[in-house]
Structure 1
Amino acid sequence: MTPAKLFALIQYPLPHHLLSRLIGRLADCRVGWLKDALIRAFIRQFKVDMREAHEPDPRAYPSFNDFFTRPLKDGARPIGEGLVSPADGTLSQFGSIGRGRLIQAKGHDFTAADLLGGDLEAAGRFHDGSFATVYLSPRDYHRVHMPVAGTLREMVYVPGRLFSVNAATTHHVPNLFARNERLVCHFDTEHGPMALVLVGAMIVAAIETVWAGQITPLPRGGVQRIRFDTPVHLEKGEEMGRFKLGSTVVMAFAEPVEFDAQDTERKVRMGERLGEFG
């Protein structure tokens, strides 16, 4: 058995939500010496480049969460033409949504309906479209931005597990992105419907949006849908949300996309061009 498969298997019995909430409390601690020690250790372990941060002094952040969701300097991420990356990270998969299915990793795929919380009608909008998945590692900038301009139509919270979403787990846990807790944001764009899915993961303490603040964690229950009477319009490159600790964004588009990349597992930066709508 490979170390990657063993890492995936030992996650099944773990109390995902309890661990994540405990880590979340620690990350929100405002005791000066403790939060400074956590931040220093994190920067050292993951080689975080603070020169890009709007506030480069690690001691200036009130908590680890404030450090982790730090803004960048103005102009640090120019916005390219066409479809752009919503976040810094790794473009782990991309391509067509063939027969309503998205690729997770080699040998694993999942349905758009499952990803969107069992909504067959919503999944039908993306039947002949395209998708892209960006994985945010611990060292990455953790705010999520709009890959194209859009108007929010509906937000859907889907409860689930909190498996890690790193490469080892995506290759060994079937339907990973369709079984983890996630926030589905449906937008209307000039290219048709778009879904941005913010996927929760092990020790991700919370997911926030700019229009509703912190969304997860929510009390246990079923799928929760929230519609907005007042339109929320966001321009391309504008911030739409953030992760408190790292995770993954899955984008689904109704219109086909001609991606520039030839291979997966490519590093990308927020605002970098990914392709053009066909």
Structure 2
Amino acid sequence: MTLAKLFSLIQYPLPHHALSRLMGRLADCRVTWIKDLAIRTFIRRFGVDMTEARQPDPGAYASFNDFFTRPLKEDARPIGEGLVSPADGTLSRFGAIESGRLIQAKGREFTVTELLGGDSTAASRFHGGSFATVYLSPRDYHRVHMPVTGTLREMTYVPGRLFSVNTATTGHVPRLFARNERLVCHFDTEHGPMVLVLVGAMIVAGIETVWAGQITPLPRRGIQRIRFDTPVHLAKGAEMGRFKLGSTVVMAFAESVDFVSGKRERKVQMGQRLGSLSLSEPAQTLSEKTGPERTR
């Protein structure tokens, strides 16, 4: 048995949520010597480049969480043409959505319907479209930005497990991104529908959005859908959310994407061009769908 397989198996019986919430409380500790020790140890361990940070002094952050979600200097991430990466990380998989399925890893797939929390109507709009997955490692910048300009129409919280999302686990845990706790954000764009799925992971203390603040953790009361009667407009490159500790973003588009040629598992930065989306005839918007369970 490989170490990667063993690592994935060990995670099954672990109390994912209890461990993650405990880490969240520790990461929010504001005792000076504790948070300074944690931040400086983390910087050394993962080789974090603080020269890009708007505040490069590790001791200036009030908590580990504040350091981890640190903003960058204004010119640190120029926004490229076309479809751009929503985050710093590793572009692990990308390509066409065939037969309603996305690739997780070699030999591992999951469906758009599963990813969207069982919403087959919304999922059908992405059949024949494209997807891309960006994995954020601990050393990466952990704010998530818009890959294209869009208008938020619906947000869906999907409860689930909190498996690690590193390469070792994605290669061995079936349907990982459709099993973990996640936040599904539906947008209308000039290229048709788009979803950005912020996937939770082991010891991820929370997921935040710019329009609603911290969303996870939530009590595990089932899927919660929130519609927005007042549209939230976000320009390409604008921040839309952030992770308190690392995770993964899965993007899906109704249109096919002409991806920039290159191998999988390559490092990308927020704002880096990933490919092109062709303009299409106006598509049905989420506002034309059947009413929500809950409005805001």
Tell me if both proteins adopt one fold, taking TM over 0.5 as the criterion: yes
Paired residue for 1:183?
183
2:228 paired with 1:239: no
1:70, distance to aligned residue in structure 2 (A): 0.0
CA distance in 2 between partners of 1:133 and 1:187 (Å): 17
Paired residue for 1:219?
219
1:262, distance to aligned residue in structure 2 (A): 2.8
Deviation track 1:128-159 (CA, whole Å, cap 9, x = no partner) reads 10000000000000000000000000000000
Letter in 1 for 2:219: P
Paired residue for 2:46?
46
Query: Which ranges in structure 2 are unaligned for 5 or more consecutive residues?
Result: 279-296
**Matched position secondary structure for 2:121:** helix
1:219, distance to aligned residue in structure 2 (A): 0.7
Letter in 2 for 1:181: E
Deviation track 1:46-83 (CA, whole Å, cap 9, x = no partner) reads 00000000000000000000000000001100000000
Deviation track 1:166-189 (CA, whole Å, cap 9, x = no partner) reads 000000000000000000000000
**Matched position secondary structure for 2:11:** coil
CA distance in 2 between partners of 1:13 and 1:98 (Å): 33
CA distance in 1 between partners of 2:8 and 2:205 (Å): 20
Letter in 1 for 2:271: G
CA distance in 2 between partners of 1:172 and 1:262 (Å): 25
Q: Please give the TM-score of this superposition, normalised by the length of structure 2.
A: 0.93
1:243, distance to aligned residue in structure 2 (A): 0.0
Paired residue for 1:276?
276
Alignment of 1:48-127 (within 5 A): 48-127=48-127
Query: Which ranges in structure 1 are unaligned for 5 or more consecutive residues?
Result: none
Deviation track 1:209-235 (CA, whole Å, cap 9, x = no partner) reads 000000000011110000011110000
Q: Please give the TM-score of this superposition, normalised by the length of structure 1.
A: 1.00
1:261, distance to aligned residue in structure 2 (A): 3.1
Letter in 2 for 1:7: F
Paired residue for 2:253?
253
Identity, in percent, stands at 81
1:263, distance to aligned residue in structure 2 (A): 1.4
CA distance in 1 between partners of 2:223 and 2:97 (Å): 23
Letter in 2 for 1:77: R
CA distance in 1 between partners of 2:39 and 2:182 (Å): 26
Alignment of 1:13-52 (within 5 A): 13-52=13-52
Q: How many residues align?
A: 278
Letter in 2 for 1:182: R
**Matched position secondary structure for 2:195:** strand
